[in-house]
Amino acid sequence: MRKRIANLTSNLFSPPLIGLVLIPLVSFQVAVSVSDGIKWWLILTFVSILPLWLFALYLLRRRRLDRAFVDVHQQRTRIYGLAVILAGVSCIILVSLGAPLTLLALFTAGFLATIIFMCINLWWKISLHTAFITAAVTLLFILYGFMSMAAIVLIPLVAWARIELGHHSLAQLVTGSLLAASILVAVFCLFGLL
Protein backbone atom coordinates (compact mmCIF):
# COMPACT_ATOMS: atom_id res chain seq x y z
CA MET A 1 0.00 0.00 0.00
CA ARG A 2 2.85 2.41 0.86
CA LYS A 3 4.49 1.78 -2.51
CA ARG A 4 1.21 2.44 -4.34
CA ILE A 5 0.73 5.74 -2.49
CA ALA A 6 4.37 6.68 -3.13
CA ASN A 7 4.02 5.84 -6.82
CA LEU A 8 0.80 7.84 -7.13
CA THR A 9 2.40 10.80 -5.33
CA SER A 10 5.49 10.61 -7.51
CA ASN A 11 3.40 10.52 -10.68
CA LEU A 12 1.03 13.33 -9.61
CA PHE A 13 3.92 15.61 -8.70
CA SER A 14 6.19 14.77 -11.62
CA PRO A 15 8.17 17.63 -13.18
CA PRO A 16 6.08 17.79 -16.41
CA LEU A 17 2.79 17.91 -14.51
CA ILE A 18 4.10 20.56 -12.13
CA GLY A 19 5.14 22.59 -15.17
CA LEU A 20 1.71 22.15 -16.74
CA VAL A 21 0.11 23.58 -13.59
CA LEU A 22 2.65 26.35 -12.93
CA ILE A 23 2.70 27.87 -16.42
CA PRO A 24 -1.00 28.83 -16.46
CA LEU A 25 -0.91 29.92 -12.79
CA VAL A 26 1.94 32.32 -13.50
CA SER A 27 0.65 33.33 -16.94
CA PHE A 28 -2.73 34.40 -15.61
CA GLN A 29 -1.24 36.03 -12.51
CA VAL A 30 1.03 38.37 -14.50
CA ALA A 31 -0.96 38.85 -17.73
CA VAL A 32 -2.75 42.11 -18.45
CA SER A 33 -5.85 40.26 -19.69
CA VAL A 34 -7.33 36.79 -19.95
CA SER A 35 -6.39 36.57 -23.63
CA ASP A 36 -2.84 37.63 -22.77
CA GLY A 37 -2.69 34.90 -20.11
CA ILE A 38 -3.94 32.31 -22.59
CA LYS A 39 -1.33 33.46 -25.10
CA TRP A 40 1.59 32.99 -22.66
CA TRP A 41 0.15 29.73 -21.35
CA LEU A 42 -0.13 28.18 -24.82
CA ILE A 43 3.19 29.49 -26.14
CA LEU A 44 5.15 28.29 -23.13
CA THR A 45 3.40 24.93 -22.92
CA PHE A 46 3.94 24.18 -26.61
CA VAL A 47 7.55 25.41 -26.62
CA SER A 48 8.85 24.13 -23.29
CA ILE A 49 6.83 21.16 -22.03
CA LEU A 50 5.17 19.41 -24.96
CA PRO A 51 8.35 18.85 -27.04
CA LEU A 52 10.22 17.52 -24.01
CA TRP A 53 7.38 15.15 -23.14
CA LEU A 54 7.12 13.91 -26.75
CA PHE A 55 10.90 13.39 -26.90
CA ALA A 56 10.85 11.35 -23.67
CA LEU A 57 7.98 9.29 -25.09
CA TYR A 58 9.98 8.73 -28.29
CA LEU A 59 13.03 7.58 -26.30
CA LEU A 60 10.83 5.33 -24.20
CA ARG A 61 9.33 3.68 -27.28
CA ARG A 62 12.81 3.21 -28.76
CA ARG A 63 13.86 1.59 -25.46
CA ARG A 64 16.49 4.25 -24.81
CA LEU A 65 14.81 4.98 -21.49
CA ASP A 66 13.89 2.39 -18.87
CA ARG A 67 10.82 4.30 -17.74
CA ALA A 68 8.95 7.58 -18.22
CA PHE A 69 10.47 9.26 -15.15
CA VAL A 70 14.12 8.54 -15.79
CA ASP A 71 15.87 7.11 -12.77
CA VAL A 72 19.21 6.16 -14.33
CA HIS A 73 21.16 9.40 -14.41
CA GLN A 74 23.08 8.46 -17.57
CA GLN A 75 19.77 8.16 -19.45
CA ARG A 76 18.85 11.74 -18.55
CA THR A 77 21.58 13.35 -20.69
CA ARG A 78 19.56 13.68 -23.91
CA ILE A 79 16.52 14.95 -22.04
CA TYR A 80 18.64 17.56 -20.23
CA GLY A 81 20.18 18.63 -23.54
CA LEU A 82 16.78 19.21 -25.12
CA ALA A 83 15.49 20.88 -21.95
CA VAL A 84 18.36 23.41 -22.07
CA ILE A 85 17.60 24.20 -25.72
CA LEU A 86 13.85 24.55 -25.07
CA ALA A 87 14.38 26.74 -22.00
CA GLY A 88 16.74 28.95 -24.00
CA VAL A 89 14.26 29.20 -26.88
CA SER A 90 11.49 30.02 -24.39
CA CYS A 91 13.58 32.86 -22.95
CA ILE A 92 14.27 34.23 -26.44
CA ILE A 93 10.56 34.09 -27.31
CA LEU A 94 9.62 35.79 -24.04
CA VAL A 95 12.11 38.62 -24.63
CA SER A 96 11.15 39.07 -28.29
CA LEU A 97 7.42 39.19 -27.52
CA GLY A 98 7.79 41.53 -24.54
CA ALA A 99 6.57 39.05 -21.94
CA PRO A 100 5.92 40.05 -18.34
CA LEU A 101 9.13 40.16 -16.31
CA THR A 102 7.95 37.44 -13.93
CA LEU A 103 7.60 34.92 -16.77
CA LEU A 104 11.02 35.85 -18.11
CA ALA A 105 12.55 35.49 -14.62
CA LEU A 106 10.88 32.10 -14.16
CA PHE A 107 12.17 30.74 -17.46
CA THR A 108 15.61 32.25 -16.93
CA ALA A 109 15.76 30.45 -13.57
CA GLY A 110 14.60 27.27 -15.31
CA PHE A 111 17.27 27.68 -17.99
CA LEU A 112 20.04 28.17 -15.40
CA ALA A 113 18.77 25.33 -13.21
CA THR A 114 18.66 22.96 -16.17
CA ILE A 115 22.26 23.75 -17.09
CA ILE A 116 23.40 23.27 -13.48
CA PHE A 117 21.41 20.07 -13.03
CA MET A 118 22.71 18.74 -16.37
CA CYS A 119 26.30 19.30 -15.22
CA ILE A 120 25.61 17.58 -11.89
CA ASN A 121 23.94 14.72 -13.77
CA LEU A 122 27.27 13.87 -15.40
CA TRP A 123 28.41 12.35 -12.10
CA TRP A 124 25.41 12.23 -9.76
CA LYS A 125 21.62 11.89 -9.94
CA ILE A 126 19.80 14.85 -8.41
CA SER A 127 16.08 14.73 -7.62
CA LEU A 128 14.10 16.66 -10.21
CA HIS A 129 10.86 15.79 -8.44
CA THR A 130 11.89 17.60 -5.26
CA ALA A 131 13.58 20.36 -7.26
CA PHE A 132 10.37 21.07 -9.19
CA ILE A 133 8.03 20.89 -6.20
CA THR A 134 10.33 23.12 -4.14
CA ALA A 135 10.62 25.63 -6.98
CA ALA A 136 6.83 25.55 -7.39
CA VAL A 137 6.20 26.17 -3.68
CA THR A 138 8.81 28.96 -3.66
CA LEU A 139 7.23 30.56 -6.72
CA LEU A 140 3.74 30.32 -5.25
CA PHE A 141 5.01 32.06 -2.12
CA ILE A 142 6.61 34.82 -4.22
CA LEU A 143 3.41 35.35 -6.24
CA TYR A 144 0.69 34.73 -3.67
CA GLY A 145 2.36 35.27 -0.30
CA PHE A 146 1.49 33.48 2.91
CA MET A 147 -1.83 32.16 1.63
CA SER A 148 0.16 29.69 -0.49
CA MET A 149 2.25 28.34 2.39
CA ALA A 150 -0.02 25.31 2.85
CA ALA A 151 1.66 23.96 -0.29
CA ILE A 152 4.89 23.52 1.67
CA VAL A 153 3.64 20.12 2.89
CA LEU A 154 4.07 18.86 -0.68
CA ILE A 155 7.88 19.03 -0.42
CA PRO A 156 8.30 16.37 2.30
CA LEU A 157 5.47 14.33 0.74
CA VAL A 158 7.25 14.15 -2.62
CA ALA A 159 10.59 13.52 -0.90
CA TRP A 160 9.06 10.64 1.06
CA ALA A 161 7.63 9.14 -2.14
CA ARG A 162 10.97 9.26 -3.93
CA ILE A 163 12.76 7.62 -0.99
CA GLU A 164 9.97 5.05 -0.52
CA LEU A 165 10.31 4.05 -4.19
CA GLY A 166 14.09 3.81 -3.84
CA HIS A 167 14.76 6.38 -6.57
CA HIS A 168 16.83 8.86 -4.54
CA SER A 169 18.94 9.28 -1.46
CA LEU A 170 18.21 11.96 1.12
CA ALA A 171 21.24 13.92 -0.13
CA GLN A 172 19.87 13.92 -3.70
CA LEU A 173 16.49 15.14 -2.48
CA VAL A 174 17.89 17.90 -0.29
CA THR A 175 20.33 19.04 -2.98
CA GLY A 176 17.56 19.23 -5.58
CA SER A 177 15.35 21.26 -3.25
CA LEU A 178 18.05 23.66 -2.08
CA LEU A 179 19.44 24.30 -5.54
CA ALA A 180 16.01 24.87 -7.10
CA ALA A 181 14.89 27.33 -4.42
CA SER A 182 18.26 29.13 -4.39
CA ILE A 183 18.38 29.55 -8.16
CA LEU A 184 14.79 30.79 -8.32
CA VAL A 185 15.25 33.31 -5.50
CA ALA A 186 18.60 34.51 -6.89
CA VAL A 187 17.18 35.10 -10.38
CA PHE A 188 14.08 36.84 -9.05
CA CYS A 189 16.37 39.09 -6.96
CA LEU A 190 18.51 39.87 -10.02
CA PHE A 191 15.36 40.78 -11.96
CA GLY A 192 14.30 43.08 -9.10
CA LEU A 193 11.21 41.03 -8.33
CA LEU A 194 12.11 40.38 -4.68
Sequence-distant (≥ 6) Cβ neighbours of residue 175 within 8 angstroms: 120, 126, 127
Beta-carbon count within 10 A of 66 CB: 11
Are 108 and 187 within 8 A, CB to CB?
Answer: yes
Q: Is the pLDDT of residue 177 over 90?
A: yes
Q: What is the pLDDT of residues 85-103, one digit of tens each?
A: 999 999 999 999 999 999 9
Question: How many structural domains are present in the chain?
Answer: 1
How remote is the C-alpha of 65 from its chain's centroid?
Answer: 20
Q: What Å distances lie between residue 87 and 20, 45, 66, 144, 187, CA to CA?
A: 14, 11, 25, 24, 15
pLDDT, tens only, 34-47: 999 999 999 999 99
Q: What is the pLDDT of residue 18?
A: 94
pTM: 0.89
85: containing domain: 2-190
Mean pLDDT across 135-152: 92
Largest distance between two CA atoms of the chain: 50
Instruction: Tell me which of 86-95, 101-110, 143-152, 154-163 is least confident.
Output: 143-152
Of the candidates 183, 98, 170, 97, which has an alpha carbon nearest to the alpha carbon of residue 139?
183
Taking each helix axis from N to C end, the angle separating 170-190 and 101-121, rounded to the nearest 10 degrees, works out to 140
Q: Model confidence at 158, in pLDDT bands (50, 70, 90)? A: very high
SS3 content of the chain, % helix, strand, coil (to 5): 80, 0, 20
* Mean of pLDDT values over 153-166: 95
pLDDT by residue (tens digit) across 42-78?
Answer: 999 999 999 988 887 887 787 766 655 555 556 677 7
The helix/strand/coil state of 87 is helix
